Amino acid sequence: MTWEAVTAVASAITTVVLIATVIMARHQVQLLRRSTQLDGLMRILAEMDAPAYVSSYRFVVDELTTKMGEPEFRQRVIDGMTDESIHRYLPILAFFEKVGSFVKFGLIDPDAVYCQVGSRCVRVWNALREVIDYDRARGGPGVWDGIETLANGTVRYYRQMNPNFPDPYRPEGGSATLRL
């Protein structure tokens, strides 16, 4: 056997080892990514269950329509003079804005988020549309775009899963799709 043949065999073995290493490393990176995604989702779910967010969500669902009928409350919303102790929708709105930004920038798996927190987000989005419109009138169209991304993605996700999915996201008197 010549030195050229030994070198060729050694090069072939080295190439096989490198390819196997790359395949194993890729697999490890995928496992690490999934683990990180799961950890992120678990943290989001735990945060969403915090009393402050549950209370804020209940305010949006149960009390916001009545509060928006109060002239002083409404005017403060219009003027952007909001206070978290009075305008108790702010914590859940900020929460979904943050989660939507994580989804928007690919920091967390969108489908897992849509499946776990999406329906609540869409409900909050629809309930707070008037508030968001006032904030956008003052601050521009990019205000609250994270929650909008999350709400729209959730609706697309459910429609993709089942095109005949009943429409639980219809705001009172609204159309079958999100009001954009």
Query: pLDDT tens, 64-97?
Result: 999 999 999 999 999 999 999 899 999 999 999 9
Q: Are residues 75 and 136 in the same domain?
A: yes
Whether 43 is in a domain gets the answer no
In angstroms, the CA 144 to CA 80 distance is 14
Whether 102 is in a domain gets the answer yes
Looking at the structure of the chain, the number of domains it has is 2
Q: Specify whether the backbone of 85 is left (phi greater than 0), alpha (psi in -120 to 50) or beta.
A: alpha
- Give the range of the structural domain holding residue 15, as residue numbers without chain letter: 1-37
Average pLDDT on 1-20 reads 86
Residue 169: the pLDDT is: 53
Question: Is residue 131 over pLDDT 80?
Answer: yes
Q: Are residues 11 and 97 in the same domain?
A: no
Whether 151 is in a domain gets the answer yes
In angstroms, the CA 37 to CA 107 distance is 8
Average pLDDT on 150-176 reads 71
In angstroms, the CA 109 to CA 112 distance is 6
Question: Is residue 8 over pLDDT 50?
Answer: yes
Question: Is residue 173 over pLDDT 70?
Answer: no
Q: Are residues 110 and 165 in the same domain?
A: yes
Q: Are residues 59 and 86 in the same domain?
A: yes
| Confidence at 179, pLDDT banded by 50, 70, 90 | very low
- Closest to 97 (Cα-Cα) out of 171, 165, 150, 58: 150
Residue 176: the pLDDT is: 40
| Confidence at 30, pLDDT banded by 50, 70, 90 | confident
How far apart are the two ends of the chain, measured CA to CA in Å?
Answer: 75
